[in-house]
Amino acid sequence: MVREGNGSNAGAGVLLRILRDGRPRTRAELVQLTGLARSTLTQRLDALVSREWILPAGEAVSSGGRPAVAFAFNRGARVVLAADLGATHARVAVTDLGGEILAEHSAEIAVDRGPEETLGRLHRTFEEMLAGTGRTRRDVCGVGVGLPGPVEHSSGRPVNPPIMPGWDGFPVPEWLGSRFDAPVLVDNDVNIMALGEHWAARPATDHLIFIKIGTGIGCGVISGRRLHRGAQGAAGDIGHIRVTSALDTVCRCGNVGCLEAVAGGAALAARLRADGVEARDSRDVIRLVRGGNTRAVQLIRQAGREVGDVLASIVNFFNPSVIVVGGDIAEAGEQVLAGLREVIYSRSLPLATQHLTIAASELGDRAGVVGAAVMVIEHVLAPGTVDESFATA
Amino acid sequence: MVREGNGSNAGAGVLLRILRDGRPRTRAELVQLTGLARSTLTQRLDALVSREWILPAGEAVSSGGRPAVAFAFNRGARVVLAADLGATHARVAVTDLGGEILAEHSAEIAVDRGPEETLGRLHRTFEEMLAGTGRTRRDVCGVGVGLPGPVEHSSGRPVNPPIMPGWDGFPVPEWLGSRFDAPVLVDNDVNIMALGEHWAARPATDHLIFIKIGTGIGCGVISGRRLHRGAQGAAGDIGHIRVTSALDTVCRCGNVGCLEAVAGGAALAARLRADGVEARDSRDVIRLVRGGNTRAVQLIRQAGREVGDVLASIVNFFNPSVIVVGGDIAEAGEQVLAGLREVIYSRSLPLATQHLTIAASELGDRAGVVGAAVMVIEHVLAPGTVDESFATA
């Protein structure tokens, strides 16, 4: 628990964590807040100012007579490169240290062409966007990437990702890190969506579940305001929970009865085709729902109920205060939310649902890219990282 | 996140958290570890020594010439009063600040006689045990109590506890706190069992689920080495998750299909009675299993499978590294564990089960009382608490 203070640079991290809320503070306030000796504080402030992590923020009124200099966090000190890669679509951004998007780009991709091609294109896009914002590689403090499959977060490598041939075990952080000389953090897409939504829209929520209903189904889990990744980074993988309504359906994972096999976008498209309606994928399903196709609307509402049935149990177990619903199927409208709510409120325990909010994502398709940036910012401003960075400077 | 340092007493908490591992450290080491000014450090050490939270631990060899005094945590500085109250059974202990049990007592109780009678008896027991260990009320730094029902942890009050008539909203912390002049922390029994087991037997495990299978069924959840209580303190309440095999069974909660209504000890006893076997409660079920009654063995193994079915989904969602199984039905033997393992390993995702351990509780019926003590120790040694305690001293 006592992580700051393991070396002679202790204190830089503490200062940044205090100042990052944006409010300028005087030396006297910082001594009071940190308990650091005044001489130590001055050393740390000098080091942070010389590297522009903080700026002297004009003069603040002190309690004594003469005005005191205040110091403020410089969110423009560095930039973050963030990417949310899906199976067929990518969203890429450059943000400042406050998570604000400075430049943004989205494109069609084919993640199944393998890591070299996909990351090569990402690398070129990052370079172009950096140039476009007038920054250089030296300004990059970190790179965050979300991938559409399981990732071992500690190594940043995909682990048997079902829709990403060629990516299993690929060293994404080393590949990108050697090109930007900065730490690279990788996680799966729903984890970064949960991070982004929590950070931008619901920072005061302690326990949150972000469920993505797209081609597949998965969720990101926030416990005590921190991402719960689980022992193997596999937490939130609810798409393959067995549901009784699907016992005659074989899932792409090889098992029968998976939630995804009845309620995922690919499954809904297949059901529509079986009914003679043309639908290749989840996007076609959404198009049909928006166009008022009765069968599609009926299917999507039933999908909401199926997902709700699984979430009803999870609500009893986890007792979140908010369930955020995202992914393209969910964005298709209120039908999915209605189905979810119908089942969760009738099946979960009253104590667990009395203050439970079930709502659509506020960030929509930006949740992932914002979360990828937040993942990097949290890492860069974490106790050990900042202090070490000053020790090796 | 930066909680130490919000007042002029900042540092006392940091020192205790460093020293509580038991290893003595010199002034020089503590300056290095905390970044505190030497004068501030001396003030904090003096205050801690004068109140006997730490002791000068003889002389340590310094890197320079003359020997330096080292300081060590004094786990005997204060005592903790801990109680694990069940429906019919209570276990009570006095521990030191290292969680070691100095005195222990267990007794039959009837929690349904209401809070005044139950807590009155607990109060007398605590007083007797304190006297027996040669300590006084002034030595008590806190009281920890586990109750067999939902508790709002922040207020310490039971919330509509189904088997505790008269307890709803009762101010347990105020009632006990006025008698011991110390903070009183209250939580439900499975939460403290999870805390105790994690602390004593599996401190290095990040994500753990403690499932109690007794008269009822519930679990305590550890995420990132911290207890996950959920938004209303209702996390882990899996006894009322709906299972398809129970759709014709009405639960004591009023719903149909609850897990507890097919796999809890009370339900198993009812099934045995329906088969003409004499069994009033879960203890009778255990007696029959131990005696080799085939029907009871068959039922208890099937109960393990039913619980396993619910846990299989939870494993996909939460990805724990350990599931600990406790409660009297679980203590009846390997049959329950066998049923659990059978279903979880066949239904959960391979990534989530490849390193998953499913094991019986090592602390057994002591998990709760140890956890009640740990809850108090963690609170007393938490950043704000220690610093405030020195500010108001």
Question: What amino acid is encoded at B88 in this protein?
Answer: T
Question: Taking residues A219-229, what's their average pLDDT?
Answer: 96
The pLDDT confidence band at residue B65, using thresholds 50, 70 and 90, is low
The pLDDT value given to residue B393: 41
The pLDDT value given to residue B136: 94
What residues of chain A lie within 8 A of the CB of B2, using their CB? 14, 17-18, 33-34
B14 to chain A, any CB pair closer than 8 A? The answer is: yes
Question: Taking residues B70-96, what's their average pLDDT?
Answer: 94
The pLDDT value given to residue A62: 52
CA distance A341 to A305: 8
Q: What is the CATH number of the domain that holds B64?
A: 1.10.10
Contact A11, A41 (CB under 8 A): yes
CA distance B332 to B330: 5
The pLDDT value given to residue B254: 79
Lowest mean pLDDT among A288-292, B59-63, B149-153, B230-234: B59-63
Pairing between β-strand A140-147 and β-strand A184-188 as defined by DSSP bridges: parallel
Q: What is the CATH number of the domain that holds A162?
A: 3.30.420.40
The pLDDT value given to residue B56: 87
Greatest C-alpha distance within chain B = 82
The pLDDT value given to residue B340: 94
The reply to whether A100 and A40 lie within a common domain is no
Residue recorded with tokens 């007042």:
B7
Whether B195 maps to a domain, the answer reads: no
The pLDDT value given to residue A111: 93
Question: Taking residues A91-105, what's their average pLDDT?
Answer: 95
The reply to whether A101 and A151 lie within a common domain is yes
The pLDDT confidence band at residue B10, using thresholds 50, 70 and 90, is low
The pLDDT confidence band at residue B238, using thresholds 50, 70 and 90, is very high
Question: Chains A and B: how many Cβ contacts under 8 Å?
Answer: 190
Q: What is the CATH number of the domain that holds A46?
A: 1.10.10.10
The last residue of one of the domains, among B27, B43, B73, is: B73
Whether A388 maps to a domain, the answer reads: no
Sequence-distant (6+) residues with CB within 8 A of A302 are A263, A339
Whether A211 maps to a domain, the answer reads: yes
pLDDT tens-digit readout, A307-356: 999 999 999 999 999 999 999 888 777 889 999 999 999 888 888 898 99
The pLDDT value given to residue B345: 93
pLDDT tens-digit readout, A147-170: 998 898 889 999 888 889 999 999
Average pLDDT, chain B: 89
The reply to whether A273 and A351 lie within a common domain is yes
The reply to whether A245 and A347 lie within a common domain is yes
Look at residues A329, A321, A366, A76 and name the one whose alpha carbon lies nearest to residue A207.
A321
ipTM of this predicted structure: 0.88
Examine the pLDDT at A199 and tell me if it is beyond 70: yes
Examine the pLDDT at B392 and tell me if it is beyond 60: no
What is the span of the domain harbouring residue A275? 202-366
The reply to whether B83 and B112 lie within a common domain is yes
pLDDT tens-digit readout, A278-313: 999 888 999 999 999 999 999 999 999 999 999 999
CA distance to partner chain B, nearest, from residue A47 (Å): 16
The reply to whether A58 and A128 lie within a common domain is no
pLDDT tens-digit readout, B87-106: 889 999 999 998 999 999 99
- Say yes or no for a CB contact (<8 Å) between A5 and B159: no
The reply to whether B381 and B357 lie within a common domain is no
Examine the pLDDT at A60 and tell me if it is beyond 90: no
Residues 192-251 of B with CB under 8 A from A: 206-207, 219, 221, 223-224, 226, 228-238, 240-242, 244
The reply to whether A221 and A362 lie within a common domain is yes
Phi, psi of A226 (to 5 degrees): -120, 150
CB atoms within 10 A of CB A367: 32
Q: CA nearest B346 in A: which residue? A: A255
Compare CB distances from A35 to B5, B234, B321 and report the shortest one's residue.
B5
Question: Taking residues A19-41, what's their average pLDDT?
Answer: 87
The pLDDT confidence band at residue A6, using thresholds 50, 70 and 90, is very low
Whether B31 maps to a domain, the answer reads: yes
Examine the pLDDT at A179 and tell me if it is beyond 70: yes
Pairing between β-strand B151-152 and β-strand A54-60 as defined by DSSP bridges: unpaired
B153 to chain A, any CB pair closer than 8 A? The answer is: no
The pLDDT value given to residue B368: 96
CA distance A135 to A139: 6
CA distance B142 to B151: 18
The pLDDT confidence band at residue B277, using thresholds 50, 70 and 90, is very high
* pLDDT greater at residue A21 or residue B80: B80
The reply to whether B92 and B212 lie within a common domain is no
Residues 22-51 of A with CB under 8 A from B: 32-40
Average pLDDT, chain A: 89
Instruction: Of B58-72, B245-259, B366-380, give the range with the top mean pLDDT.
Output: B366-380
Give the Å distances, CA to CA, from A87 to A153, A165, B307. 19, 11, 36
pLDDT tens-digit readout, A211-223: 999 888 999 999 9
* pLDDT greater at residue B123 or residue A331: B123
Examine the pLDDT at B391 and tell me if it is beyond 70: no
The pLDDT confidence band at residue B37, using thresholds 50, 70 and 90, is confident
CA distance to partner chain A, nearest, from residue B236 (Å): 4
Question: Taking residues B38-54, what's their average pLDDT?
Answer: 88
The pLDDT confidence band at residue A5, using thresholds 50, 70 and 90, is very low
The reply to whether A243 and A322 lie within a common domain is yes
List the beta strands (DSSP E) in chain B.
25-26, 54-60, 68-73, 79-85, 89-95, 101-108, 140-147, 151-152, 157-158, 184-188, 208-213, 217-223, 226-227, 322-326, 357-360
Phi, psi of A12 (to 5 degrees): -60, -45
What residues of chain B lie within 8 A of the CB of A224, using their CB? 223-224, 226, 228
Q: Based on the structure, what is the number of domains in chain A?
A: 3
The reply to whether A145 and A231 lie within a common domain is no
The pLDDT confidence band at residue B60, using thresholds 50, 70 and 90, is low
What residues of chain B lie within 8 A of the CB of A37, using their CB? 35-38, 40
The pLDDT value given to residue A206: 96
Examine the pLDDT at A61 and tell me if it is beyond 60: no
pLDDT tens-digit readout, B151-178: 988 899 999 888 899 999 999 999 999 9
Q: CA nearest A18 in B: which residue? A: B2
Question: Taking residues A111-132, what's their average pLDDT?
Answer: 96
The pLDDT confidence band at residue A393, using thresholds 50, 70 and 90, is very low
The pLDDT value given to residue B384: 66
pLDDT tens-digit readout, A32-48: 888 788 888 888 898 88
| Torsion angle defined by CA atoms of residues A127, A133, A139 and A143, in that order, rounded to the nearest 10 degrees | -50
pLDDT tens-digit readout, A237-256: 999 998 887 778 888 777 88
CA distance to partner chain B, nearest, from residue A247 (Å): 13
The pLDDT value given to residue B7: 42
- Say yes or no for a CB contact (<8 Å) between A349 and B313: no
Examine the pLDDT at B324 and tell me if it is beyond 80: yes
Whether B228 maps to a domain, the answer reads: yes
Question: Taking residues A207-233, what's their average pLDDT?
Answer: 94
Contact A81, A122 (CB under 8 A): no
The pLDDT value given to residue B63: 58
The last residue of one of the domains, among B33, B58, B73, is: B73
Interface mutation vs chain B, best among A256, A318, A322, A347, most B CBs within 10 Å: A318
The last residue of one of the domains, among A36, A56, A74, is: A74
CA distance A322 to A310: 16
The reply to whether B132 and B21 lie within a common domain is no
CA distance to partner chain A, nearest, from residue B384 (Å): 13
What residues of chain A lie within 8 A of the CB of B6, using their CB? 33
